[in-house]
Amino acid sequence: MQTLLQNRIVYRPLYTSPITLRLNYQDVRQLNDPSLGGPLGSWADQTLYQGIVQWLMRWNRVLTTLSTYTFQITDTSGFVNKDSVTELVSLYNNRQYQTGPELEFRFYPLQEAAALYLYQRDGLFRWSGHGDGAVDGISYYIAAGSIWRMGDKVYLDAGVQYDSLTCLAHDCAPGLYFKTACASVSRITPRLYLTVNL
């Protein structure tokens, strides 16, 4: 079961450069998989409270920036998870906080702005929380890509993103269940989408 509420308030000091406040709420409740070793018939519940402020600024015909600041709280209870590598089962009951800024540069190098759109975006987040499975760390990402429209029928969306998470604490309890879900990790994710409208 899922409940989702999304609210948006837009203020335009300049019509072409809006400042947007987003207030979101999401609640997901699901039955745990009994094969993972959790209690039979147990339910997992995850609730997200999220606030996002965005400022879109069109500097000229070529350059636009999108500044974003996010703060979110996630409450998780009764969630059973099995690590695919270690085969260990974890029970997550925690409150997780995530906050941080993002900055995106958008470039429109062609006369027809909608034909080619290049972007470069960066984000930095602080993670903290308490309870079983909470993450305490710092993450960031760097991404770049382009969206190219060919006529009215074909769209090519290509990009690459580098993500990194550095853990600041590893509070583990002995036995089967672990206090933290944090493991320092880095990854590169390429993306390529080709869309053809018939």
**pLDDT at position 178:** 44
Buried b (16+ CB within 10 A) or exposed e, 7-23: eeeeeeeeeeeebbebe
Rounded distance, CA 97 to CA 48, Å?
Answer: 10
Reported as type and span, the H/E element at residue 99 is strand 89-107
Residue 116, CB half-sphere, CA atoms under 13 Å: how many? 7
| Single-letter code of the amino acid located at 64 | T
Give per-10-residue mean pLDDT for the chain (198 aa). 94 91 95 68 88 96 96 91 68 92 95 88 95 88 94 90 86 46 85 90
2 burial level (CB within 10 Å; 0-12, 13-18, 19+): exposed
Rounded distance, CA 137 to CA 132, Å?
Answer: 15
CB atoms within 10 A of CB 75: 16
Q: What is the DSSP letter of 111?
A: S
CB atoms within 10 A of CB 185: 12
Where exactly are the structural domains of the chain?
Answer: 2-196
Read off the pTM: 0.81
Task: Name the 3-class secondary structure at 114.
Answer: helix
**pLDDT at position 90:** 74
**pLDDT at position 133:** 78
Rounded distance, CA 86 to CA 132, Å?
Answer: 18
Phi, psi (rounded to 5 degrees) for 71? -135, 130
